[in-house]
Amino acid sequence: MTRTRRPGPLQRVLLLWTPLLLLMVFTLFPFWWMLVTSVKPDAELYDVRQPPLWAKTVTFEHYRELFVRLPFATWVRNSLVVSAAATLISLAIGTLAGYSLARLRFRGATTLGTIIFVAYLVPTTLLFLPLAYVIRWLGLYNTPFALIVAYPTFLVPFCSWYLMGYFKTIPRELEECAMVDGCTRGRALRRIVLPLATPGILSAAIFAFTFSWNEFIYALTFVQSPAYKTIPVGVVGQLATGDVLFWGKLMAAAVLGSIPIALIYSTVSGHFAAGLTAGAVKG
């Protein structure tokens, strides 16, 4: 807690190393279980005489089958396209809205900020049924565009709110100087503000991409054809239904679906909480 006095070795074991070990085991255990299962041959997997937490033989057969027998590559592609498209659209809309709310003085700006924050709090599980109707009405039901249109409903409020907070930290004087020198708002935004806001925009992009990559209930409801499914619903819908579950393949898919996100995050984990509660609390 405090760094004013050095704790003794016994204190370190009791207050740091033991709880840390428990914490790490609790956190990592499901991932270990995923990984071990994904590389075990079926004969070993479904034999209670074999040790559960270890693989005697390592095989990549489950991984191979995902690509050979199942459209896993298609789901990966769909996840990538949907997440990237929804992220880009939401960043564009959110940058404009966030900048306006942070900088431009106009009547109703504060109310708009509140509306966007409230929209961020509305859970997807409250909206999915009527939104399915709107998606159908737009002719997008069961098309690759259904999710690209649906995901901005939570990404735009998030990006606007997050970027609004970020823009506020950039000194106003920089753009004002440029504008006094004859620069327009749009030019000042492009030439001065956006380059300075790159770290914030990049973090927003990573969060938005993750939210899209992980989204489940919209993907479950708005898309039916296996050809258009994203990884989460592809795996759950095609592999985890019926009485017999193929755990080797399921866990291989879980490993593959988790790795990209874990890799992306290893670059930004520092800004993590600040992003989600951005602006709600000082400091």
Contacts to another protein from residues 136-165, by CB under 8 A: 149-150, 152-153, 156-157, 160
- Binding another protein (rule: CB under 8 A), the pick from 77, 144, 176, 226 is 176
Taking the least distance from each CB to another protein, the nearer of 59 and 224 is 224
Q: Tell me: does residue 28 bind another protein (CB under 8 A).
A: yes
- Binding another protein (rule: CB under 8 A), the pick from 55, 80, 84, 179 is 179
Rounded CA-CA distance 121/31 in Å is 30
CB-based contact 91:205 (threshold 8 Å): yes
Nearest CA to 161 among 213, 198, 209, 207? 207
Q: How many CB atoms neighbour CB 163 within 10 A? A: 25
Q: Tell me: does residue 129 bind another protein (CB under 8 A).
A: yes
Q: Tell me: does residue 225 bind another protein (CB under 8 A).
A: no
**Site string (74-93) toward another protein, x via CB under 8 A:** ------------------xx
Taking the least distance from each CB to another protein, the nearer of 58 and 276 is 276
Rounded CA-CA distance 40/43 in Å is 8
Q: Tell me: does residue 55 bind another protein (CB under 8 A).
A: no
Chain positions 5 to 24 lying near another protein, rule: CB under 8 A, are: 5, 15-16, 19-20, 23-24
- Binding another protein (rule: CB under 8 A), the pick from 37, 78, 83, 203 is 37
CB of 254 to another protein, least distance (A): 4
CB-based contact 219:228 (threshold 8 Å): no
CB of 60 to another protein, least distance (A): 19
Chain positions 103 to 122 lying near another protein, rule: CB under 8 A, are: 104-107, 109, 112, 114-119, 121-122
Q: Tell me: does residue 30 bind another protein (CB under 8 A).
A: yes
Please identify which residue in the block is written with the tokens 């209930």. Answer: 217
Taking the least distance from each CB to another protein, the nearer of 5 and 69 is 5
CB-based contact 253:76 (threshold 8 Å): no
Rounded CA-CA distance 139/125 in Å is 22
- Binding another protein (rule: CB under 8 A), the pick from 86, 163, 170, 254 is 254
Max CA distance (Å), the chain: 79
Q: How many CB atoms neighbour CB 173 within 10 A? A: 8
Please identify which residue in the block is written with the tokens 């050979």. Answer: 68
Give the tokens for residue 57. 């033989």
Amino acid letter, 190: R
